[in-house]
């Protein structure tokens, strides 16, 4: 099965990115998840952010598209996912944990994000770091 996921690198005014510590795999990552039938990718990104961390997003910009190797979901289904990521600097609300999905949320400097072994999608975080360092992602 091929599934499409949407995620968002959410930046605060200090240039830190919001990291989400997930319950399902005990890993840190950006906020996001799989699309529902009938949703656009942007709608999925906004819904996932609201469900997982309680933020309402303003303007979001397409960042990049990634593919993921075939992997097993907790349900036992084998999937390959295509992940579409956005960036966002415009949001309302205060980030909070959804107890069903997460352990904690925290805005973190890109230089202080934990080692890859703690990350859900290291290639995405590394791409965000690279673009931020090259100033191709605006902050503020």
Residue 21 domain flag: yes
> By mean pLDDT, which of 47-61, 62-76, 88-102, 110-124 is the weakest?
110-124
Query: Domain residues for 111?
Result: 2-133
The fraction of the chain above a pLDDT of 70, given in percent, is: 94
Query: If you average pLDDT over residues 51-78, what whole number do you get?
Result: 91
CB 126, CB 48: distance < 8 Å: no
Strand partners, 88: 10, 60
Residue 112 domain flag: yes
What pTM was estimated for this model as a whole? 0.87
Residue 126 domain flag: yes
Residue 111 structure tokens = 């230089």
Residue 87 domain flag: yes
- Assess whether pLDDT exceeds 60 at residue 120: yes
Residue 138 domain flag: no
Number of domains in the chain: 1
Residue 28 domain flag: yes
Cα separation of 4 and 2, whole Å?
7
CB count in 10 Å sphere of residue 85:
23
pLDDT in tens, 98-112: 878 789 999 999 888
């Amino acid at each position: 099965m091929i599934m499409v996921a949407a995620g968002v690198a959410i930046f605060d005014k200090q240039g830190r990115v919001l990291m989400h510590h997930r319950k399902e795999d005990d890993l840190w990552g950006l906020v996001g998840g799989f699309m529902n039938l009938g949703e656009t990718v942007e709608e999925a990104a906004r819904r996932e952010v609201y469900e997982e961390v309680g933020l309402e997003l303003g303007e979001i910009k397409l960042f990049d598209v990634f593919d993921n190797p075939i992997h097993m979901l907790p349900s036992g289904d084998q999937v390959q996912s295509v992940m579409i990521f956005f960036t966002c600097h415009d949001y309302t609300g205060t980030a909070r944990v959804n107890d069903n999905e997460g352990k904690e949320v925290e805005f973190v400097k890109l230089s202080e994000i934990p080692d890859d072994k703690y990350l859900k999608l290291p290639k995405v975080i590394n791409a965000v770091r690279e673009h931020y360092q090259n100033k191709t992602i605006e902050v503020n």
